[in-house]
Amino acid sequence: MIIIVTGLNKSVALNKVLEEGVNHMWTASAIQLHQNAIVVCDEDATAELRVKTVKYFKGLEKSELEFQHGGKGG
């Protein structure tokens, strides 16, 4: 499952989808239950996320890039 989120106007939706529980009002929040989910978003879309959430996902991205490049960094 892939969700692509761009722009400041989608930042509240991204917050609801990632930082609150699965909810029928935000059906994309079901991504929290998916084992192979990918969320692609630009910096503007992260405006309503908590700093800890942004740092967590940036850390995952960095780790994946390092893994793909044999530990040599992104």
Domain boundaries, the chain: 2-49
Report which residue type is found at 28: A
7-56 pLDDT, tens digit each = 999 999 999 999 999 999 999 999 999 999 999 999 999 999 999 998 98
pTM of the model: 0.78
Q: Is the pLDDT of residue 57 over 60?
A: yes
CB 55 within 8 A of CB 67: no
Q: What's the CA gap between 20 and 24, in Å, rounded? A: 12
